Amino acid sequence: MQTLGSNASSFNRADGRKRTVWPDAALPGVRTNFARRSLRVSDATDELSHRYVRVRHQTEALITPLGPEDMVVQSMPDASPAKWHLAHTTWFFEAFLLSIHSPGYRVFDPDYNFLFNSYYEALGPRLPRAQRGLLTRPSSIDVMAYRRYVDGHMRKLLQSGISAVTEDLVRLGLAHEEQHQELLLMDVLHLFSRSPTKPTYDKEWPVDAVGRGGRFKGMSGGPFELGATAASFAFDNECPRHTTWLQPFEISDRLVTNGEWLAFMADGGYARPELWLSDGWTLVQSEAWNSPLYWVQTPDGWSQMTLRGLRTVETDAPVTHVSYYEAAAYAHWASARLPTEAEWECAARAGLLEQVEEVAWQWTQSAYSAYPGFRPAENAAGEYNGKFMVGQVVLRGGASVTPAHHSRLTYRNFYRPEQRWMFSGVRLARDLNQSGESSELTAADSDFAVDVVAGLSAREKTLPPKYFYDAAGSELFEAIGQTPEYYPTRVETALLQQFASEIATGIAEGAVLVEFGSGASEKTRVILDAAPQIAVYVPIDVSEDALAKAAAALSRDYPKLPVVPVAEDFTAAIRLPAAAQGRVKIGFFPGSTIGNFTEAEALRFLRSVRQLLGDNCVLMIGADLVKDEATLVAAYNDVEGITARFNKNLLARINRELGGDFDLDAFDHLAIWNAELTRIEMHLVSRADQIVNAAKHTFAFKAGERLHTEDSHKFTTESFANLAARAGWSVSREWISAAPQFAIFSLAPQRSDSLLSTARRTRTMETKSIKVPGPNHPISIEPNPARVTVRVGGRIIADTRSALTLREGGYAAVQYIPQEDVDMTLLRRTDHHTYCPYKGECAYYSIPLGGDRSVNAVWTYEAPYAAVAAIKDHVAFYPDRVDAIEEQKESKKA
């Protein structure tokens, strides 16, 4: 992909996470209270020293394709020569760190403060910006010597052990240098674009990725928490996080393409004053603009100057290098508008957007100004932000030239509305009215419409269950979980709580938790609480409202945990966000949502998750088990009628979103058990012959005709393990509740070198089933009031008044005797072990005194499961492997 060496690869799209730059050498202040204080001092210093070296090398890697002449010329006042960037970023460390925090430091050259200060009044007079191209001296060699000199002193400073304030300044200096890495590329591109030979900076520079989506995504509006919290590094202009109000809106999931821009141009976009803001129209005329900045008309059509040289304009790629005026005119032409920065941040946090950071900064319609409560940082570096908060517009996201991991969803880039040499693009937004309808009717060609038309046109009418979950449907599902009949939510949550700490032991430090069909993310909390080592949470759900609400609530309650929601259909090809990369992945698919798939869908899903999560992953799946029909049917036919409302909400959603005219009272909710296919089926049954319109189509229903809306398959431990095995997974642990039985399976990828047949591969050697005692397998433990003694070889080896009597199912009662009342010196531990799914791992002892008869005569549960915790530190004896186990009832003392 790159010829700039490994350093430069942190610039482009590959991982989708990028970040930005300030308009020309701009330096925002930084807050000092971000949450990285848990690192030990030496770890923090090591990490910082390495980062310092990486970032400084990265800048130098960027100039390797440049010759000495390329480094000096200033192609316009907004751009700076590459040599100036190299020196200015170095000056930052000298002026803000070494001169203040390194006792005895002598500046490299006293003139450099004048030459390489960008904006800082507090640090004295400086070379006017437009004269940076006059600096033939100092030479590039001098500037590189300056870099080495400052790097040497910085190395010493970093190794000397630095204060938190100094550390913050170093991090700020590195963020500042990353901004200049982007500026350097912007400025080189501008310089080369002015050259008649149109030079190539890097012929391997990646091309901009084409977006997949192309849909508007709706958001319901309401209060929204905008801005950065104290939990991680952010610039002062991103703070404080504060509540703002959003009207309902929709936002395009991808950026405007070159092809769309060509249509705008062909429709006279640059020649129609009615589309333009007044200042923009003046500029279009005075500058004779008729295309984005780097477009060049050739006999073969439009080409575009890029870092790869002059290339044909790709119609599917996003348009870049347009000013705010052009973006606003385009939006006007497209019957849309630009999003506000709050709308952008809200949609990005909800995971609705593609091309967030990897192609171009996105113009918002928000003026760059202070958030309520904004306070500039109190150091000299804080001079920057406050004084630029006028006459500029906010851009959000990140660009192909932004260093990886530099930006964040709260990042506020800003430029003047006429500027366009930065990598700027366009994302559209539109108002929704209060009932959530678009100002433009786009719903008719949505996936939903297509699936509804196909499903209602089929001979046996059916609809995919994923469409249950609009905002109302997600809330109804939560309400179902509260009904007494719908046991799966309650039982699975209790099972998770009971085994949380055990589940947590299988989760690696720094792992990412990826949840499929996360809904309200309530069960997730049990795992997060038990496994604080989880470093990132990625909830995936089609229900945008549920996802946005859950992500906001989790961010509030787990402020240190990055929550990166993905609003996608998890049966489609999902890409995990960059924050998940390089981490061990823990998949979590609770709720028995896997039961809503057909067998083929479940296999496809499990196989694709196997690919998505990689080799070292764990996948935990909650699955409901087959049980008696009455319990099952009641769970899907609650007396209060909430499941019926959930089922009928599908019709309400069609009415709302696809202009349908379903009469909800003309259908009955039906839930039946299909024993042959081991599934609960939900249907809506037409009460009469009727005609229904939806999605611009007409459908006839006969009286009694069913619309099949959902299957909930139920499993046995065997059927589930078999399914998993066919998709490349082995069950390594399973936890099973008391009745009504529900299971959680922990799956591991099958080893590819396994020669075992599928049937044998369904369980790994270590598979452990964990069961909770209940009515089908009751266990009771009671103190035994009798004195209990055990005799072997004629000797009393145990004598207690504190025995516990354990009764289990149909087995004989067993006396568990506290070890302190047993002469343990007479026992010999053996390597015999057994496993009980209700009680846990069991270890054994022989009693040499008893001879052959007493081999493995004694057992103990050293870490018994919670339901039988009382027998810890007790041992029990096989009656036929000892002489006698005697109980003497003692009369109560008077």
Residues interacting with ligand SAH, by CB under 6 A? Answer: 466, 469, 474, 477, 489, 517-519, 523, 540-543, 546, 569-571, 590-591, 593
For residues 606-625, which are near ligand AVI according to CB under 6 A? none
For residues 457-496, which are near ligand AVI according to CB under 6 A? 480, 488
The first and second tokens of residue 357, run together, are 């950071």
Report the nearest approach of ligand SAH to the CB of residue 541 (Å): 4
Check: CB of residue 773 under 8 Å from CB of residue 766: no
Select 48 or 586, whichever has its Cβ closest to ligand SAH: 586
Evaluate the CA torsion angle 841, 845, 851, 854 in order and state its sign: negative
Q: Is 28 in the site for ligand AVI (CB under 6 A)?
A: no
Select 322 or 554, whichever has its Cβ closest to ligand SAH: 554
Select 379 or 608, whichever has its Cβ closest to ligand SAH: 608
Evaluate the CA torsion angle 348, 354, 358, 363 in order and state its sign: negative
Q: Is 590 in the site for ligand AVI (CB under 6 A)?
A: no
Stretch binding ligand AVI (CB under 6 A), from 94-102, 245-253, 590-598, 652-660: 590-598
- Which residue of 140, 237, 362, 592 would you call a contact of ligand AVI, by CB under 6 A? 592
- Which residue of 455, 591, 728, 864 would you call a contact of ligand AVI, by CB under 6 A? 591
Q: Is 636 in the site for ligand AVI (CB under 6 A)?
A: yes
Select 453 or 479, whichever has its Cβ closest to ligand AVI: 479
| Residue 245 host element (H or E) | strand 242-246
Select 92 or 570, whichever has its Cβ closest to ligand SAH: 570
| Residue 721 CA neighbour count, 13 Å, CB half | 19
| Residue 673 host element (H or E) | strand 667-674
Q: Is 596 in the site for ligand AVI (CB under 6 A)?
A: yes
In order of 91, 160, 623, the CA distances from 53 in angstroms are 16, 16, 49
In 3D, which of 469, 348, 217, 516 has the Cα closest to residue 537?
516
In 3D, which of 196, 151, 156 has the Cα closest to residue 60?
151
Select 108 or 636, whichever has its Cβ closest to ligand AVI: 636
DSSP designation for 270: G
Select 476 or 536, whichever has its Cβ closest to ligand AVI: 476
Q: Which does 58 bind (CB under 5 to 8 A by kind): ligand AVI, ligand SAH, none?
A: none
Q: Is 543 in the site for ligand AVI (CB under 6 A)?
A: no
Q: Is 595 in the site for ligand AVI (CB under 6 A)?
A: yes
Q: Which does 224 bind (CB under 5 to 8 A by kind): ligand SAH, ligand AVI, none?
A: none
Q: Is 709 in the site for ligand AVI (CB under 6 A)?
A: no
| Residue 672 host element (H or E) | strand 667-674
Residue 228: partners with Cβ closer than 8 Å, 6 or more residues away: 31, 234, 238, 239, 241, 408, 410
Q: Is 710 in the site for ligand AVI (CB under 6 A)?
A: yes
Report the nearest approach of ligand SAH to the CB of residue 546 (Å): 5
Q: Which does 474 bind (CB under 5 to 8 A by kind): ligand SAH, ligand AVI, none?
A: ligand SAH
Residue 526 burial by Cβ neighbours in a 10 Å radius (0-12, 13-18, 19+): buried
In 3D, which of 366, 386, 371 has the Cα closest to residue 119?
386
The CB density around residue 621, as the number of other CB atoms within 10 Å, is 28
What gap in Å lies between CA 590 and CA 515, rounded to an integer?
8
What gap in Å lies between CA 868 and CA 225, rounded to an integer?
46
For residues 64-103, which are near ligand AVI according to CB under 6 A? none
Report the nearest approach of ligand AVI to the CB of residue 333 (Å): 43
Check: CB of residue 879 under 8 Å from CB of residue 885: yes
What gap in Å lies between CA 751 and CA 29, rounded to an integer?
51
Report the nearest approach of ligand AVI to the CB of residue 749 (Å): 24
Q: Is 539 in the site for ligand AVI (CB under 6 A)?
A: no
Q: Which does 571 bind (CB under 5 to 8 A by kind): ligand SAH, ligand AVI, none?
A: ligand SAH
Q: Which does 570 bind (CB under 5 to 8 A by kind): ligand SAH, ligand AVI, none?
A: ligand SAH
Check: CB of residue 591 under 8 Å from CB of residue 488: yes
Select 29 or 464, whichever has its Cβ closest to ligand AVI: 464
Residues that bind ligand AVI (CB under 6 A): 480, 488, 591-593, 595-596, 636, 643, 646, 710, 712
